[in-house]
Structure 1
Amino acid sequence: MRFLPTSIHGVIDYLWGLSLFASPWVLGFGDVPAAKWVAVVFGVSAILYSMFTAYEFGVLRILPMSLHLILDGMAGALLAASPFLLGFSDQVYLPHLLFGLFSVVASLVTRMEVPLATGHREPV
């Protein structure tokens, strides 16, 4: 059931990316190198591919929304699993798990159709 408009998803993308990027220092795990760098890389990556997405908040609008949502889902699953895959779950795991699961859920509930005003429209 896809009910979240792409315009709201776009706002969430940038807020999510910035929040994830800042999370090592805000949440106090900046001294755990693997955890810190995973958060920074995933946060920056999300912002970058959002800038290239063909939706209301895209800058270059090259990446189809359907591919953006696939990236959100795959990246979210990897982010959620990263503490366990990379061995830092004994120090910190909850931020990565929650940010990752949020991304997976967002990928599943966001509409794939972008309004015509953005200059790009995909079928559902």
Structure 2
Amino acid sequence: MRFIPTSVHGVIDYIWGIALLSTPWLLGFADVPAAKWVAVVFGVGAILYSALTAYELGVLRLLPMPLHLIFDGIGGLVLAASPFLFGFADRVYLPHVLFGLFSVAASLLTRMETVLSTGHREPA
């Protein structure tokens, strides 16, 4: 059941991206290059494609919401697996796994239609 409105998902997107981007320094793994760069790339990437999404907090509104949610789901799986795929699980893994699984959950629980500023629903 999809119950998260796209407007809430939009807020989560930007917070999630900034939080992930900052984790290497906040959680003390900036000295692990692969772990740091995965967090930075995924954080910046999420902010960028959120800005390009056709939802309430999108800036350019080019990407349809279903495509955004596919990015969230696939990206979340890759992010969760990244410590094991890129060989840094012995140093740090929990932030990547938790952020990744959160992204997958959000992709499965968010509605696919948006209510834009005009008040009409945009179909998925």
Say whether the fold is shared (TM-score over 0.5).
yes
Q: Which residue of 1 aligns with 2:61?
A: 61
How do 1:64-103 and structure 2 match up within 5 A?
Answer: 64-103=64-103
Q: Which residue of 1 aligns with 2:41?
A: 41
Secondary structure of residue in 2 paired with 1:81: helix
Query: How many Å separate the matches in 1 of 2:33 and 2:90?
Result: 13
Q: Which residue of 2 aligns with 1:6?
A: 6
1:46-88 CA-to-partner distances (Å, cap 9, x unmatched) read 0000000000000000000000000000000000000000000
1:41: Cα distance to partner? 0.2
Q: Which residue of 2 aligns with 1:121?
A: 122
One-letter identity of the residue aligned with 2:107: S
- How many residue pairs match? The answer is 123
Gaps (5+ residues) in structure 2?
Answer: none
Secondary structure of residue in 2 paired with 1:82: helix
Cα RMSD, aligned residues only: 1.2
Query: How many Å separate the matches in 1 of 2:87 and 2:109?
Result: 31
Q: Which residue of 1 aligns with 2:105?
A: 105
1:101: Cα distance to partner? 0.1
1:12-62 CA-to-partner distances (Å, cap 9, x unmatched) read 000000000000000000000000000000000000000000000000000
Query: How many Å separate the matches in 1 of 2:102 and 2:29?
Result: 20
TM-score, normalising length: structure 2: 0.96
One-letter identity of the residue aligned with 1:91: R
1:69-115 CA-to-partner distances (Å, cap 9, x unmatched) read 00000000000000000000000000000000000000000000101
- Given that residues 3 and 111 in structure 1 are in contact (C-alpha distance below 8 angstroms), is that contact kept between their aligned partners in structure 2? yes
1:122: Cα distance to partner? 1.8
Identity %: 72
Secondary structure of residue in 1 paired with 2:122: coil
